[in-house]
């Protein structure tokens, strides 16, 4: 029998009625002739509750016990889903991560998947089981302890199972009916995409689109797992939702496929840094050690300041998540106190956001940047930092212009049109 992987997020299994709704969708696929592996998240809000209990009990908690507690939410959902399917006369059995086993590294709360042996589940399929309901987000360390994969890890679990079992497809059920050209809450012109390439989805996910977890898209692209994003709350057909697939499966791509934004950004500038070999390493090494996720980096042209700063000096600007600013400042100031770097001032701007346009069509079309910058100029929006890749252009702008910029770029590239 062909295998299909179906993943249901927290909102899709938030209560017993929604679990029954999800189970109906699983039964439909069984009736179509599939053996199904269902990956479930914890019921909506449950993981946050469990994390809160851990923090209240032990602020400096043991990571191994944290994983033991936090992973329990998925176990409850898996059992309830299996029971619901059994009540529908669908042969189903629940599986916790250690029972599969889903083998991971020992990095508790941020484990990486190492292997998923097929034997146990394949044997049960051969014996007549039609649905394996697997608790997402969790696995088994080499030491035999429960591990978790980090928030959003159920998406990664689903893609990993689809790769391990050579599934025909991996369907991700969520509270939206696909991937849109931008956030429909910002512009009513946002259009659902029928298909999107892995690379485009990876860029959109990393740039702030929250439909799919970044690690899951990376894994899907690596193993060529076809993903479909669709709604748990709408009737589905084989053509529902958005298919995330290889670029070769898309006949003709628009130059720009989507506009993404990240609201919680900050810009940090080191003023009059000595311009010498190794200065970038001296700055960004301590930031990396402090766990700061640096994104956009700009270094100004060197200049001579003979009065105050003899020799060549430059300004170094970078962006990072808003909630990592304090950590970044401490890392830089500590590096200065140790004599690793010298600068005259540290300027932090917490009122910025990142806006990005993404599209594989950029590879073969010139002038995308010019159109983007002209559209922002027409709205009197100043660009602070620019970053580009082969299929992406990102800018930092004042946060107060975020929605206006998204709308202007969506209109400029006519993303409401399908072709």
Please write the tens of the pLDDT for every residue from 277-325.
Answer: 899 999 999 999 999 999 899 888 766 554 554 568 889 999 999 999 9
Is 413 known to sit in a ligand binding site?
Answer: no
Q: What angle do CA 160, 164, 168 make, to 5 degrees?
A: 90
How are beta strands 35-40 and 131-135 bridged, if at all?
parallel
Question: Cis peptide before 187, with omega less than 30 degrees from 0?
Answer: no
Domain 3-249 and domain 260-412 have a common topology:
no
Q: What is the pTM of this model?
A: 0.83
**Percentage above 90 pLDDT, the chain:** 77
Give CA–CA dist 213/88, Å, rounded: 31
Mean confidence (pLDDT) of the chain: 92
Is 252 a residue whose pLDDT tops 70? no
Distances (CA, A) of 382 to 243, 373, 385, 407, 411: 36, 9, 10, 16, 18
For 136-162, b/e burial (b = at least 16 CB within 10 A) is bbbbbbeeebbbbbeebbbbbbbbbbb
Q: Is residue 175 marked as binding?
A: yes
Phi, psi of 311 (to 5 degrees): 90, 180
Confirm whether residue 47 is marked as ligand binding: yes
69-78, 152-161, 360-369, 401-410: lowest mean pLDDT where? 360-369
Question: Class of the 3-249 domain?
Answer: alpha beta
Q: What angle do CA 9, 217, 240 make, to 5 degrees?
A: 60
8 is in an annotated binding site: yes
Give the model's pLDDT for residue 311. 61
Cβ–Cβ < 8 Å for 297, 317: yes
pLDDT at 353: 95
Give the mean pLDDT of 257-282: 91
Radius of gyration from C-alpha coordinates of the chain: 24
Q: According to the annotation, is 173 in a ligand binding site? A: no
- The confidence band for 176, taking pLDDT boundaries of 50, 70 and 90, is confident
Q: How is the beta sheet containing 131-135 ordered, strand by strand?
A: 92-95, 131-135, 35-40, 3-8, 169-174, 227-231, 242-245, 195-197
Instruction: List C-alpha distances in Å: 21 to 14, 103, 328.
Output: 11, 31, 46
Phi and psi torsions of 31, nearest 5°: -65, -25
Query: Annotated binding residue at 211?
Result: yes
Architecture of domain 260-412: 2-Layer Sandwich (3.30)
d(CA 171, CA 140): 24
359 annotated among ligand-binding-site residues: no
Dist. CA 171–CA 416, nearest whole Å: 25
Angle at 274 between CA 268 and CA 280, to 5 degrees: 60
Average pLDDT, integer, range 249-268 = 87
Instruction: Name the more confident of 122 and 207.
Output: 122
388 exposure class (CB count in 10 Å sphere: 0-12, 13-18, 19+): middle
Q: How confident is the model at residue 419 (pLDDT cuts 50, 70, 90)?
A: low
Other C-beta atoms closer than 10 Å to the C-beta of 395 total 25
Binding site annotation covers 131? no
Predicted local confidence at residue 306, as pLDDT? 44
- Given this model, what pLDDT does residue 93 score? 98
Q: Is 330 annotated as a binding residue?
A: no
Indicate if the pLDDT at residue 87 is higher than 50.
yes
239 has a pLDDT exceeding 80: no
- Domain borders along the chain are 3-249, 260-412
Residue 204 has a pLDDT of 86
Q: What is the pLDDT of residues 213-238, one digit of tens each?
A: 888 999 999 999 999 999 999 887 77
Contact 27, 19 (CB under 8 A): no
9: annotated binding-site residue? yes
Of 143 and 151, the one with more pLDDT = 143
């Amino acid at each position: 029998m062909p295998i299909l992987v179906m993943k249901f997020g927290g909102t899709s299994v938030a209560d017993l009625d929604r679990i029954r709704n999800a189970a109906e969708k699983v039964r439909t696929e069984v009736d179509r002739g599939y053996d199904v592996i269902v990956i479930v998240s914890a019921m909506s809000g449950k993981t946050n509750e469990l994390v809160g209990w851990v923090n209240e009990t032990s602020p400096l908690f043991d990571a191994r016990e944290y994983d033991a507690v936090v992973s329990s939410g998925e176990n409850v959902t898996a059992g309830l889903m299996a029971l619901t399917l059994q009540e529908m006369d669908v042969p189903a059995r629940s599986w916790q991560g250690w029972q599969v086993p889903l083998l991971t590294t020992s990095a508790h709360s941020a484990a990486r998947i190492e292997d998923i042996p097929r034997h146990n589940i394949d044997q049960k399929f051969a014996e007549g089981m039609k649905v394996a309901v697997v608790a997402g987000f969790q696995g088994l360390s080499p030491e035999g302890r429960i591990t978790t994969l980090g928030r959003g890890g159920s998406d990664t679990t689903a893609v990993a199972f689809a790769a391990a079992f050579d599934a025909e497809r991996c369907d991700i059920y969520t509270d939206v009916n696909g991937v849109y050209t931008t956030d429909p809450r910002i512009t009513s012109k946002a259009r659902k995409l029928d298909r999107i390439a892995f690379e485009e989805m990876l860029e959109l996910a990393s740039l702030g689109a929250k439909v799919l977890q970044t690690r899951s898209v990376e894994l899907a692209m690596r193993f060529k797992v076809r993903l479909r994003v669709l709604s748990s709350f709408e009737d589905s057909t084989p053509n529902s939702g958005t298919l995330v697939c290889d670029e070769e499966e898309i006949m003709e791509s628009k130059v720009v496929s989507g506009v993404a934004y990240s609201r919680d950004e900050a810009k940090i500038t080191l003023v009059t840094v000595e311009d010498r070999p190794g200065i970038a390493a001296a700055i960004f090494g301590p930031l990396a050690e402090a766990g700061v996720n640096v994104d956009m980096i700009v270094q100004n042209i060197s200049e001579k300041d003979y009065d105050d700063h003899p020799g060549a000096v430059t300004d170094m600007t970078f962006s990072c998540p808003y909630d990592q600013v304090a950590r970044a400042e401490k890392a830089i100031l500590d590096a200065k106190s140790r004599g690793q770097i010298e600068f005259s001032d540290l300027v932090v701007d917490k009122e910025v956001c990142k806006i990005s346009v993404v599209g594989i069509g950029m590879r073969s079309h010139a002038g995308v940047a010019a159109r983007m910058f002209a559209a922002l100029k027409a709205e009197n929006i100043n660009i602070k930092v620019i970053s580009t890749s082969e299929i992406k252009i990102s800018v930092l702008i004042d946060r107060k212009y975020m929605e206006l910029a998204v709308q202007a770029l969506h209109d400029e590239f006519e993303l409401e049109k399908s072709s």
